[in-house]
Chains A and B, each alone.
Chain A
Amino acid sequence: MTKKSFTLLLSSLLTFSMLTAACGNSNNGNEAAATKDPGTSGGNTTTAATKEPAPEPEKPTEIKIMLPLNTAETPPDTIKTELEKLTNTKLTYQFFPADTYEEKLNSSFATGSLPQVTYLKNQTTFVQMREAIKDGQFWEIGPLLSEFPNLNKLKPEILNNTKVDGKLYSLYIGRPLARQGIIYRKDWADKLGLQAPANLDELFAMAQAFTEKDPDGNGKKDTIGIVDRNELVYGAYKTVSAWFGTPNTWGEKDGQLAPDFTFPQYIDTMDFFKKLRDGGYMNKDFAATSKTDAVNMFVSGKAGLYIGGSMQDIDTLNKDLIKNFPDAVLDTHSMVAGPDGKFAQWMIPGYNNVVLFPKSAVKDEAELKLILGFFDKMMTPEVSNLMYWGIEGTHYTVEDGKAKPTDNKELIEREVKGYKDSVIGEAETNGMYLSYNVLPGRIHAEELILENVKVGVADPTAALDSATYTSKGVELQQIITDATYNYIYGQLDKAGFEKEVEAWKSRGGAAIIEEYNAVYKK
């Protein structure tokens, strides 16, 4: 009897694992994904679809919106109901998990079922969509913006970064241009009599002191300076490299655009990290360390400096750190002078994501204007606060003219987060509340983020197009990433690194340089 039921259990387990394996395997399972959608998007899709489009202007505009969801569950209608009242709309939100959003985007696109308002996932999906945009699949909105007073406030320099072939097709979700910097153990620095590093030598000295001078005072040499992870862009590397004066991804050299790794400052940065690693002043396995492991090392008191990412991370780092060390004090810092005494910070193009309006769903310009009208209202303080912070009194309170989120983080996560990531513009343009911070390090971080922009270095290729980059860029960049790590770990010397750069050029890099320069001149 027991044997029989065991076999049954076993066979059902096997069947189940086969099924899951099949789902995971099907790279070309677009059809399968597409058929699944109606279920995921819930019942409200059908109810909205069956209603006739509104003939009279007083009737609410019906808009279908597809966007990535960064939480586990679809939010309830609390925010949506308020939003509809404020904007006179009938909204249908289709949330899809951010992890698989690209697949969803591609399959909806392939089947022509994108809704009127389509959020992409990030810059990368935007670059991939460029070809389709050029192909005329989406509405151009540039000439219409001036008709909308609030949308017209969007920052022109960021709008410029989202243009395709010089035309504007999208609205952007704003992010601070340069959030990166150092989060460090101020209590350790104070104990050793150190100031926040003013230049790269002092940064190195601090990493060294944190490693060798027993900052936690337990009599053991069990701490390190910098903790980094397997990520050259959002880890410590790119931030430090900007301090050295390396251009942001691409820079001008003899009047021509050239990639950052062909600049001598890039080599200087590699030498800096090589010295750090050889001396044991950073985690030895950083090339294989995940973000989670890096964060764990920091909050468990093993490391004193966390560089890169966002200085706003100080809130979460602090929360976990003081659980282990109630006396620990964190602070942020970002102004580290390069060898020539100059400050520099690399900048992102100022947006996190964009919204597109597919021609397959938006019939004519009149409909497009109705939809843009909704976004125009979204850019008022009233609506953007509702979407970003939630309902006043329930999800946040106002203190000193700033929003202070409630302590019930789960409530915000469940009801507000889904909408938060879709707010167009940023506080400067849509007038929503800034966040009310209590942690001194975080307040300092917000000041530094504003300072960073003053010495910010932009990526000149952000709005440029290169066919070779679109098809092979990621693959080619891998060559350089690998070579950089190999150099830092002493497996490659300078000549070896340059050989890899030549390999990059011969396998398509030369074409990328040529294509970028051809459009750059224009």
Chain B
Amino acid sequence: MQDVTAQPGTVSKLKPKRYKSSSELKKRLWRNKYLYVMLIPGILFFVLFKYLPMYGLIISFQDYKPYQGITGSEWVGMEHFKRLFTEPDFIKILGNTLILFAMNILLYFPVPIILALMLNELRGTFFKRFFQTLVYLPHFMSWVIIVSITYVMVTMDGGIINELLSYFGFEQVNFLLNPGWFRPMYILQIIWREAGWGTIIYLASIAAIDPGLYEAARMDGAGRMRQIWHITLPAIRSVIITLLILKIGSVLDLGFEHVYLMLNSMNRNVAEIIDTYVYTAGLRQGQFSYSTAIGFFKSIIGLIMVMSVNKLSKKMGEEGVY
């Protein structure tokens, strides 16, 4: 694109590729009509569920009263944002959110890649399919079930892990209520549930690699590890980066349900995140304006993160997501 604007001469060269007349454009549109029809649900989805609700953001600058509506409620400017930033627990909550996010990126993100590489090395279709299905399955369980399973396993009131610990003469560990155990349990649950599902895209892009490359490498005497390092990984590099950018976009979306189910009075210091705070402070008390302001703040941070990572990846010579 930059080249095009820099050299006026190239523009005219490009011109023939564009549509000379509107009739040609029409013909082109008509030829691909089914593709455009298929686009409609997607556009509708974004308009209905993503763009229209943005109108509601207005209430974060209002003292919103449901019976007066958006048009009738009083404007209060930045008051709700001020309340959020002056909240004594704000730094703690933001900190908890960012720590969980960092753990997600550092500890969870690489796992599906490694798992995909491992699955790819499996020989024998049956075993491959079997293990793939096995690691996909947890994804279909809801957090309620996963958290309940965890509870049953680690509770001090007869949970199997604590029973085993005391059987072997160790001291019982209070996994559920000890703040120190919240983060490890959180990330382990995510890995268990999502890692298998996360391999799908990687496996698909690995499948697209030209087998000739591997043959050539083998001829040159490259072992399995060498092949992974020099062929597989570089080939899926752009996929990894795209997914990383997307992941960072949801920077503060750590899964309300999951954290809320794990949250209790004893681990609140490390477990309260922005999403759970929105629930207790905002929605449970009908403070729509305040909770919208918090949600707005969260989205802005997400936007900034995506834009900067996207820029960074372009600088590193990779394609961004836009």
Contact = CB atoms under 8 A, between A and B. Distances in A.
Contacts of A109: 66-67
Interface residues of A, number: 50
A288 B151 contact: yes
Contact of B264 (A23, A230, A473): A230
Interface in B132-170: 148, 151-152, 155-158
A285 B53 contact: no
Contacts of A30: 56
A357 B152 CA distance: 47
B34 interface: no
A19 B45 contact: yes
Interface string A455-488: 0000000000000001111110010011011100
B268 A482 contact: yes
A26 B292 contact: no
B178 to A, nearest CB: 10
A288 B177 contact: yes
Contacts of A27: 278, 283, 288, 291-292, 295
A22 B45 contact: yes
Nearest to A292: B148
Interface residues of B, number: 41
Given A27-B283, A489-B177, A22 B268 contact: no
Contacts of B174: 284-285
A507 B284 CA distance: 18
B211 interface: no
Given A10-B200, A22-B45, A293 B264 contact: no
B285 A471 contact: yes
Query: What does DSSP make chain B's interface, helix, strand, loop or mixed?
Result: helix
Most chain A CB within 10 A, of B155, B157, B287, is at B157
Contacts of A399: none
Nearest to A137: B67
B281 A475 contact: yes
B280 A110 contact: no
Contacts of A472: 281, 285
Nearest to B257: A24
Interface stretch (A127-135, A160-168, A313-321, A334-342): A127-135
Contacts of B59: 28
Given A26-B49, A230-B265, A288-B264, A224 B67 contact: no
Interface in A493-511: 503, 507
A135 B66 CA distance: 12
A118 interface: no
A149 interface: no
B124 interface: no
A284 B156 CA distance: 6
Contacts of B53: 26, 28-29, 31-32
A287 interface: yes
Contacts of A106: 66, 286
A486 B266 contact: yes
A121 to B, nearest CB: 12
A226 B169 CA distance: 27
B284 A474 contact: yes
A430 B66 CA distance: 35
Interface in A37-91: none
Nearest to B42: A15
A224 B157 contact: yes
B151 A293 contact: yes
Given A22-B50, A230-B264, A283 B286 contact: no
B156 A285 contact: yes
A492 B214 CA distance: 62
A285 B281 CA distance: 26
B88 interface: yes
A491 interface: yes
Contacts of B200: 10
Interface string B33-65: 000000000000100111011001101000001
Interface string B270-299: 000000001011011111100110010000
B16 interface: no
Contacts of B291: 27
B158 A287 contact: no
B177 A285 contact: yes
B65 A131 contact: yes
B292 A28 contact: yes
Interface in A273-298: 283-285, 287-290, 293, 297
A287 B285 contact: no
A289 B88 CA distance: 29
Contact of A474 (B48, B52, B66, B280): B280
A400 to B, nearest CB: 42
Nearest to A222: B158
B306 interface: no
Contacts of A131: 65
B152 to A, nearest CB: 8
Nearest to B264: A288
A297 B295 CA distance: 39
Contacts of B88: 503, 507
A485 B265 contact: yes
A302 interface: yes
Interface in A143-169: none
B292 A491 contact: no
B108 to A, nearest CB: 18
A131 B64 CA distance: 12
Contact of B265 (A128, A137, A224, A287): A287
Interface in A109-139: 109-110, 112, 128, 131-132, 135, 137
B157 A283 contact: yes
Contacts of A491: 266
Most chain B CB within 10 A, of A284, A290, A297, A471, is at A284
Contacts of B155: 284-285, 288-289, 293
B9 interface: no
B248 interface: no
B176 interface: yes
A230 B151 CA distance: 13
B317 interface: no
Contacts of B288: 27-28
Contacts of A287: 176-177, 264-266
Given A22-B50, A135-B67, A285-B177, A475 B280 contact: yes
Contacts of A482: 265-266, 268
B157 A128 contact: no
B78 to A, nearest CB: 18
Contacts of A23: 49
Contacts of A135: 67
Given A109-B67, A135-B67, A485-B265, 11 more contacts: A28-B56, A31-B53, A112-B67, A284-B174, A288-B177, A289-B151, A290-B148, A293-B152, A472-B281, A482-B266, A489-B177
Nearest 9 CB-CB pairs, A to B? A28-B56, A485-B265, A288-B176, A110-B66, A284-B156, A22-B49, A482-B265, A283-B157, A128-B286
Interface of B: 45, 48-50, 52-53, 56-57, 59, 65-67, 69, 88, 148, 151-152, 155-158, 174, 176-177, 200, 264-266, 268, 278, 280-281, 283-288, 291-292, 295
24 contacts: A27-B292, A30-B56, A32-B48, A106-B66, A109-B67, A128-B285, A132-B65, A135-B67, A222-B158, A224-B157, A287-B177, A287-B264, A287-B266, A288-B151, A288-B177, A289-B155, A289-B157, A290-B148, A293-B152, A471-B285, A478-B280, A482-B268, A485-B264, A503-B88
